[in-house]
Amino acid sequence: MAAGTAVEVAGNLAQGQSTYESGMYQSQVAKQNRDIAAAEGEYQMEQTQLKTAARVGEITAAQGASGLDVNKGSAPQVRQAAQEVGALDALTIRNDAARKAYGFQLQSTALEKSAKDARNASYFNALGTLVGGAGNIATKGNFGTSSGSSESYNPASWVTWGM
């Protein structure tokens, strides 16, 4: 019976450690995904800014080629509007990437907490198994006696009453 209790305690601890390590690994993956999402968002934002600059340049060239004075009238306003739309697009991309990265951060935190909770639970399960096993041994009369003995456990037999 004691060997079975020991095996069960070891199993509880091993399962808790395995769950902990798996959760921590998944947490690290989520952190890497967070970093990738943030970097991807920055890259896409920069690409949008470059496209916006190119678009504004095309507008300026088209205005000049059509014979308009690019510095008078509505021509500068058209370019300004194109720049503003491009800037809004870039900020939207940055915001979306930040939200995605934040989601991965939340996932990482939750996985880490879950992993730690599983490890801690395994300690309590192992302790409960150990206490339960000790209780079973004590109530079956095998505590402190040789295996198979018919003597029952009597804790008072260990105490001397000063006589």
Q: How is the chain split into domains, by residue range? A: 2-142
Report the percentage of the chain scoring pLDDT > 70: 83
What is this structure's pTM?
0.67
What pLDDT digit, counting tens, does each position of 52-82 carry?
A: 999 999 999 999 999 999 999 999 999 999 9
Q: What's the confidence (pLDDT) of residue 79?
A: 96
pLDDT band at 130 (very low <50, low <70, confident <90, very high): confident
pLDDT band of 123, cuts 50, 70, 90: confident
Measured from the Cβ of residue 101, the count of other Cβ atoms closer than 10 Å reads: 20
- Comparing 39 with 160, the larger pLDDT belongs to 39
Averaged over 106-118, what is the pLDDT? 94
Judged against a pLDDT cut of 70, whether residue 1 lies above it is answered with no
Model pLDDT, residue 137: 66
Report angle CA 34, 39, 41 to the nearest 5 degrees: 95
| First-to-last C-alpha distance (Å) of the chain | 36
Residue 92 Cα to chain centre, angstroms = 26
